[in-house]
Amino acid sequence: MAEASISVDRDQLSCPVCLDLLKNPVTVPCGHSFCMDCINGCWDQENQSGVYSCPQCRETFTPRPVLRRSYFIAEMLEKLKKIELQAASPAGPGDVECDFCTGRKLRAVKSCLTCLASFCEAHLKPHQEVPALKNHKLVKASKQLQEKICSQHDKLIEIYCRTDHSCICYLCTMHEHKGHDTVAAVAERNQKQDELKQIQKKLQQRLQEEEQKLQQLKLVMNSFKCSAQAAVEDSEKIFTELIHSIEKKRSEVTKLIRAQEKTELREAEELLEKLERQISDLKRRNDELNQLSQNEDHISFLQSFQNLCISSEPEDSSSISVCEQLSFDAVRKSVVYLFFDLKQRLEHFCNKEFGKLPQGKRRTRPDSHTSHQSLIH
């Protein structure tokens, strides 16, 4: 029997955290796979509540799942690496070309911030095997390596100027930025990373508060709908006991309730949409902050940090309040009062008129107290 072949895309075997091919792959209970170090790193950074989540789908697990190496995925990774080495694809439109390929340029898989060059799988091997090159900083293949070179001094940008909030090279500290408050980019990155965690913490707290408001509003709306339906049903029961001459009033009360219900629900739905938009914006910002926190490139991180973290905060919804008691009890009470008032008037009229009839022809009536109690219950 011929051996079955399976086509696997490289992206399918990439870690959602580091975006590189899986290393020591493990699969969490929801089915998503990660590098062992990446998923442990994510879970180690989470709070100590004992609840752990998948970085991709956000499904939560309690207690912390035991991670074991996925041998099936590991075998597929080995096969994929062999296939890529045997038939490396040339760089296409939008791909980063390998700087060391001669003739046909292959697609680069990594860029070195130390060498300021990009490498395909074959030419990347020295960085993985030569001890002197293993300390070089490798990132995802990028076309923007030139942006990491100072345009004035043609030196690697590796210093951050806190005075001017800009990334500079070491020669800049001797000229344009002389006397400024400067630190190594990696040191500033670590500080900003702590600030980023605080921002994320506040954002996640806001997100939880907004989601709680959303759930609370949904519960109130459901209770309000039930109350409105109960008011309509009670009105129907009461009005069906009345004579056909008040049929028009019954319809008017029903329309009044429905109109008020529609008005209140429309306002509640507008509030619901506003909360959903704000929650969506908070989630989007949280995703952007997550992506920024996972950026391995210190310079790119610092260049993006200012615009992302100093941008305007989402619209504050603290002024939004959710009314927890929406009902038609007042309408119901008014209708009951109207019913008894009309019924008493009707009984009084009937008793007065029945009294004029001969005793032998008087008709019996059900006890009024019993009738009232049956309507109430």
CA dihedral 368, 373, 376, 377 (to 10 degrees): -150
d(CA 20, CA 287): 19
367 domain residue, yes or no: no
pLDDT digits (tens, 9 = 90+) for 105-141: 888 889 888 888 899 888 888 898 888 898 888 888 8
Q: Where are the beta strands (DSSP E) in the chain?
A: 25-27, 33-35, 52-53, 60-61, 110-112, 117-119, 138-140, 159-161, 166-168, 182-184
355 domain residue, yes or no: yes
**Predicted pLDDT of residue 368:** 40
pLDDT digits (tens, 9 = 90+) for 349-364: 667 766 765 554 444 4
| Claim to verify: residue 221 and residue 306 sit in the same structural domain | yes
pLDDT digits (tens, 9 = 90+) for 160-191: 999 999 999 989 999 899 999 999 988 998 88
| Claim to verify: residue 216 and residue 344 sit in the same structural domain | yes
| Claim to verify: residue 75 and residue 224 sit in the same structural domain | no
| Claim to verify: residue 60 and residue 172 sit in the same structural domain | no
Domain end marker among 40, 62, 85: 85
In the chain, the number of structural domains is 4
370 domain residue, yes or no: no
| Claim to verify: residue 198 and residue 155 sit in the same structural domain | no
Per-residue tens of pLDDT for the chain, all 377 residues: 334 444 566 677 888 888 888 888 999 999 899 999 888 888 887 666 678 888 888 888 888 888 888 888 888 888 877 766 655 567 667 788 898 888 788 888 898 888 888 998 888 888 988 888 988 888 888 888 778 888 888 888 889 999 999 999 989 999 899 999 999 988 998 889 999 999 999 999 999 999 999 999 999 899 988 888 888 888 778 767 766 666 777 677 788 888 888 888 888 888 888 888 888 888 888 888 888 888 888 888 887 877 776 665 556 555 556 565 567 777 778 778 877 887 788 788 667 766 765 554 444 444 444 443 333 33
| Claim to verify: residue 31 and residue 80 sit in the same structural domain | yes
How many helices (H) and strands (E) the chain has is answered by: 9, 10
347 domain residue, yes or no: yes
d(CA 292, CA 286): 10
d(CA 84, CA 120): 10
**Predicted pLDDT of residue 87:** 53
Predicted structure pTM score: 0.36
372 domain residue, yes or no: no
70 domain residue, yes or no: yes
| Claim to verify: residue 71 and residue 125 sit in the same structural domain | no
Residues whose CB is less than 8 angstroms from the CB of residue 89 and which lie 6 or more positions away in sequence, other chains included: 106, 107
Domain extent for 114? 88-148
d(CA 275, CA 157): 43
> How distant, in Å, are the alpha carbons of 82, 233, 370 from that of 335?
81, 12, 19
- According to DSSP, residue 107 is labeled B
| Claim to verify: residue 208 and residue 349 sit in the same structural domain | yes
